[in-house]
Structure formats: C-alpha cells, structure tokens
Amino acid sequence: MSDPLGFKVKLVGVVLMLLCWPALAQPVTAPEAFFNLPFAQGGERELLLNVYLPEPGEVPPPLLVWLHGGDWRGGTNQSAYSA
C-alpha cells in the first residue's frame, strides 16, 4: 500500500530545503585574530592569550572561552592545534 500524503510531505520538505540552501550557504570569512597577547604574569612567566574577533553584526556574538589544558603548569596553546 502506498502513502501518497507521506510522499508529498517529504517532497515538499526536499523542495523547501533546496530553495533555502543558497541562503544558508553564506561565505565564511576568517575572523580578525590577535595572537600571544600578554594578559597576566604568573611568577616569572608571562601569560598569553589569543583573541578572535568576528565581523560586527546586528546581534552580539556569543563569547567562548577555551582553556587548552596544562593544569596551569605547562603546555602551550599551540599544542592543542596538533591534536
């Protein structure tokens, strides 16, 4: 037994997805980046951070804080990129 209503619903869904695809496929631009900015002193060691700024928009973007690990004793932010 066929299900013509189910087929029509799926067909409409696929057509809508194809029509909306160009609006979703926005070009991606690399954010403005600043690397190894000192933000504090940890004993004799200068603590550094990287800042990535997205393009300005109508709505403020969310903030993401990412710590690479190292238990505040060792490692660098570069070691996370090799994973």
Q: Report, as an integer, the average pLDDT of 27-49.
A: 84
Task: Give the pLDDT score at 70.
Answer: 66
Q: Which stretches of 1-83 are assigned E, i.e. beta strand?
A: 32-42, 45-53
pLDDT at residue 17 greater than cutoff 80: no
Q: Tokens at residue 63, please? A: 């903030």
Name the average pLDDT for the chain.
Answer: 77
Bigger pLDDT: 29 vs 1: 29
Q: Report, as an integer, the average pLDDT of 30-54.
A: 86
Tell me which residue of 46, 83, 52, 45 sits closest to 66, measured CA to CA.
Answer: 52
The structure's pTM equals 0.52
Q: Phi/psi of residue 5, each to 5°?
A: -70, -45
pLDDT tier at 83, thresholds 50, 70, 90: very low
